[in-house]
């Protein structure tokens, strides 16, 4: 058990099993129904790509706040362009995401700015953009056949939307595990200067990561709008908190240089199972907010630079008093 | 770091820096051009220089303005921004309204203390354990929203008495909320200029390690920064509760993004250690005038959001010189 808990990729899956057991203990067969699995995977198809996008930038010691704006903006674009031809509409949204991500990445690298500031600006611009293109209204998506297709549950659980997200995770996982690029990404994250000295083109990797981040988020946003048959400029922070939480639960370190897509997938599954399971048990939705916030707070605290030092200090103080 | 940079970071140096732009960097020139262009734009807009227009401008900017004054302390102390200030504003408005039957003084004091503790606790986690400010404040956002949805059932709570009506009063021609904003600005700037905590905010924000090496533990300063952000935000919460006659989770939605926009447009450095409340005030005024002009010229609300986003982005991009 111990090596399993120390492996950051395996840890979220251990947590997943524990949560599943608890839910089954309270809800029995209600939790094990195929509809629940379908619901978990449907949520995965939105939160997954966004958490992966955020997680990849976090591995590089950056933070892409703009994903929250991109999700809405890409959804609006896909619906506007996809009425006649859904696939080209989705491609327009993805191209927009790539262009936006590449631009933000280039600004961060060329001007040596903090990614948080730049992507905060990007978030506000993208959000404004979504309001302008939709005219602050909800835009309907008239293609019910497309809506039915992206959400169709093959084998009662797997929708094309989920499979698209799964493919993203598979590609990202393969790159991180088996290619030089993957090792370069972690090297850039743990020590950019050393990586640069060793001949890694840190700038290109950062620009590439933000480009990929924009593209993945745009894909998730476009497919989400197709699934909802509507797009609207949404609230700002709705997806940011769970995405950051999923990445951190999945073993991505805020200090950069650590993390793996398989772990992130586990983190996303944990949050999706928690939300769906609690809903199935009839627990009101605010409990889920509190649970997500609590988990994020605890993990953030454990990740904090001084926790062990402060505990040691407290222990010393306590020991002195004993003497 | 050149001596001039150090000069700027001293509180005394800051005092001069606010009023006499000593070094004419590109960003200073661009900022001056923007201000002049905006003034021309405003003055030539029909209906802008009328009393009702100016009064409504002053009122609307004040709610966001107090939050921005609070956010300034978080940014200056090197913690970028808080994602939970909007949620804590909503929570404080609810606390205020719920306690109003116990007396106005009790409600006022409780609201201020509540929000100071709520944000100070986040500052404690961030400062004492060096937890990441983004993660902690995002977690706090979810926790506050969840807890207060549970407590209120997601509905607004309405004021049944008229005890708090005096908070809606105006001081002659000056709208009440604007007077409150001015008090916040003066108090905030005075803290930065004249107190030890204020000086430590600059020191910890520009280099926490240097602060530690100089024998100053950074964490109490971080706690103070967040607690002060809570105090200034609670002013906004109280005014909004009084104006709308309710405490509601809707009051603060998106407020943290407006506030950080004002902080950054005013020219505070996002990395911390450089800036002031006066700069934030200029950011608040710039955004509000910009918005007011856009409204009078018939631009839609959506277009305003996009343009303000673009301006924030440009201002952040202009800070590149300082960080390299």
Across A210-220, average pLDDT: 97
The pLDDT of A47-73, averaged and rounded, is: 94
pLDDT digits (tens, 9 = 90+) for A89-140: 999 999 999 999 999 999 999 988 888 889 989 999 999 999 898 888 888 8
Please tell me what DSSP assigns to residue B20.
S
Q: How confident is the model at residue B106 (pLDDT cuts 50, 70, 90)?
A: very high
State yes or no: pLDDT of B5 exceeds 60: no
Residues of A with CB below 8 A from B271's CB? Answer: 114, 117
B163-167: long-range pairs with CB below 8 Å, 24+: B163/B100, B163/B103, B163/B104, B164/B100, B164/B104, B164/B107, B164/B241, B164/B242, B165/B242, B166/B104, B167/B238, B167/B239, B167/B242, B167/B243
Q: Quickly state the pLDDT bin for B276 (edges 50, 70, 90).
A: very high
What letter does residue B308 receive in the DSSP assignment? Answer: H
Helix/strand/coil for B246: strand
Cβ contact, residue pair B129, A254, below 8 Å = no
B7 C-beta neighbours (distance < 10 Å), count: 15
Distances A292 to A296, A300, B134, B255 between C-alpha atoms, Å: 6, 12, 15, 22
Given a cut of 80, is residue A244 above it in pLDDT? yes
Q: In the structure, what pLDDT confidence band is assigned to residue B33 with cuts at 50, 70 and 90?
A: confident
Phi, psi of B300 (to 5 degrees): -80, 165
Region of poorest pLDDT, from A151-155, B28-32, B203-207: B28-32
Cβ–Cβ gap A292/B303 under 8 Å: no
Q: Give yes or no for residue A322 having a pLDDT over 70.
A: no
* Cβ–Cβ < 8 Å for A291, A55: no
Residue B99: pLDDT over 60: yes
A108 or B162: whose pLDDT is higher? A108
- Which residues, other chains included, contact A84 with Cβ-Cβ below 8 Å and sequence gap of 6+? none
In chain B, whose CA is at the least distance from the CA of A285?
A: B146
Range of lowest pLDDT (B35-39, B137-141, B142-146): B35-39
Q: Which residue has the higher pLDDT, A106 or A157?
A: A106
The SS3 assignment for B103 reads: coil
pLDDT at residue A101, as a whole number: 97
Top-confidence range, A107-116, A205-214, A243-252, B171-180: A205-214
Question: What percent of chain B is predicted at pLDDT more than 90?
Answer: 49
Q: Write the pLDDT tens digit of every residue in B114-128.
A: 999 999 999 999 999
Backbone angles phi and psi of B57, in degrees to 5: -60, -45
Q: Which residue of B has its CA nearest to A301?
A: B131
Three-class DSSP category at A117: helix
Residue labelled with tokens 């500031």 = A117
Quote the CA–CA distance of B21 and B18 in Å, as a whole number.
7
Query: What per-residue confidence (pLDDT) applies to B98?
Result: 94
Chain A: give the shortest CA distance to residue B167, in Å: 30
* B46-59 residue pLDDT tens: 877 788 888 888 88
Distance from CA of B247 to the nearest CA of A (A): 18
Do B271 and A114 lie within an 8 Å CB cutoff?
Answer: yes
Q: Distance from A238 to chain B by nearest Cα, in Å?
A: 10
Going by pLDDT thresholds of 50, 70 and 90, the confidence category of residue B151 is very high
Nearest-neighbour CA in chain A from B135: distance (Å): 6
The pTM score is 0.88
pLDDT recorded at residue A54 = 96
Task: Determine what percent of chain B is predicted with pLDDT higher than 70.
Answer: 90
Check pLDDT > 70 for residue B323.
Answer: no
* pLDDT at residue A321 greater than cutoff 90: no
Q: Report the greatest alpha carbon distance in chain B.
A: 59
Q: What is the reported pLDDT for A144?
A: 87
CA distances from A276 to A19, A36, A41, A43, B94 (A): 12, 7, 10, 9, 30
**Residues in chain B closer than 8 A to A121 (CB atoms):** 309, 312-317
Which has more pLDDT, A204 or B314? A204
User: What is d(CA B48, CA B29) in angstroms, rounded to the nearest whole number?
Assistant: 26
* pLDDT confidence bin for B301, thresholds 50/70/90: confident
Residue B284's pLDDT band (boundaries 50, 70, 90)? very high
């Amino acid at each position: 058990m111990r090596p399993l808990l120390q492996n950051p990729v395996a840890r979220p899956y251990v947590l997943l099993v524990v949560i599943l057991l608890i839910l089954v203990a309270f809800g029995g067969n209600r939790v094990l129904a195929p509809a629940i699995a379908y619901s978990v995977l449907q949520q995965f198809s939105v939160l997954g790509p966004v958490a992966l996008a955020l997680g990849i930038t976090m591995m590089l010691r950056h933070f892409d706040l703009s994903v929250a704006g991109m999700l809405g903006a890409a959804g609006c674009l896909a619906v506007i362009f996809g009425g006649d031809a859904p696939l080209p509409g989705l491609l327009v949204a993805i191209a927009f995401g790539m262009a936006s991500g590449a631009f933000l990445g280039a600004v961060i690298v060329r001007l040596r700015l903090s990614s948080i500031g730049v992507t905060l600006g990007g978030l506000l611009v993208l959000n404004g953009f979504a309001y302008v293109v939709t005219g602050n209204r909800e835009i309907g998506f008239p293609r019910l056949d497309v809506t039915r297709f992206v959400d169709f549950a093959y084998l009662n659980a797997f929708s094309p939307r989920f499979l698209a997200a799964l493919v993203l995770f598979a590609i990202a996982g393969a790159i991180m595990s088996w290619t030089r690029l993957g090792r370069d990404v972690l090297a850039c994250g743990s020590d950019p200067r050393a990586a640069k000295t060793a001949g890694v083109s840190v700038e290109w990797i950062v620009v590439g990561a933000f480009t990929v981040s924009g593209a993945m988020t745009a894909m998730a946003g476009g497919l989400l709008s197709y699934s909802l048959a509507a797009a609207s400029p949404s609230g700002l922070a709705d997806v940011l908190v769970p995405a950051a939480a999923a990445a951190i639960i999945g073993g991505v370190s805020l200090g950069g240089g650590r993390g793996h897509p398989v772990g992130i997938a586990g983190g996303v599954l944990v949050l999706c199972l928690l939300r769906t399971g609690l809903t199935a048990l009839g627990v009101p939705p605010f409990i889920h907010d509190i649970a997500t916030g609590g988990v994020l707070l605890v993990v953030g605290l454990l990740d904090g630079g001084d926790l062990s030092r402060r505990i040691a200090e407290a222990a010393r103080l306590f020991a002195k008093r004993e003497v | 770091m050149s001596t001039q940079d150090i000069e700027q970071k001293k509180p005394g140096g800051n005092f001069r820096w606010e009023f006499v732009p000593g070094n004419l960097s590109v960003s200073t020139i661009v900022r001056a051009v923007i201000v002049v262009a905006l003034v021309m734009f405003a003055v030539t807009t029909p209906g802008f220089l009328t009393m009702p227009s100016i009064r409504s401008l002053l009122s609307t900017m004040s709610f966001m303005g107090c939050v921005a004054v609070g956010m300034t302390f978080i940014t200056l102390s090197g913690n970028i921004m808080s994602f939970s200030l909007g949620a804590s504003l909503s929570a404080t408005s609810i606390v205020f309204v719920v306690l109003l039957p116990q007396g106005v003084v009790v409600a006022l004091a409780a609201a201020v203390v509540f929000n100071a503790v709520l944000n100070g606790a986040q500052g404690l986690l961030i400062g004492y354990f060096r937890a990441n400010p983004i993660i902690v404040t995002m977690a706090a956002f979810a926790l506050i929203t969840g807890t207060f949805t549970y407590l209120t059932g997601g509905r607004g709570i309405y004021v049944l008495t008229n005890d708090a009506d005096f908070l809606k009063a105006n001081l002659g021609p000056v709208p009440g909320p604007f007077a409150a904003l001015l008090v916040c600005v003066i108090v905030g700037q005075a803290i930065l200029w004249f107190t030890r905590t204020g000086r430590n905010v600059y020191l910890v924000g520009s280099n926490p390690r240097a602060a530690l090496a100089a024998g100053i533990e950074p964490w109490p300063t971080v706690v103070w920064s967040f607690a002060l952000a809570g105090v200034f935000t609670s002013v906004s919460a109280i005014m909004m509760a009084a104006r709308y006659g309710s405490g509601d989770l809707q009051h603060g939605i998106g407020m943290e993004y407006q506030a950080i926009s004002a902080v950054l447009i005013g020219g505070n450095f996002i990395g911390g250690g450089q800036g002031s409340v006066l700069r934030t005030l200029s950011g608040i005024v710039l955004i509000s005038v910009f918005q007011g002009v856009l409204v009078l010229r018939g631009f839609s609300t959506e277009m305003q959001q996009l343009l303000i986003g673009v301006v924030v982005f440009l201002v952040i991009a202009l800070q590149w010189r300082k960080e390299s």
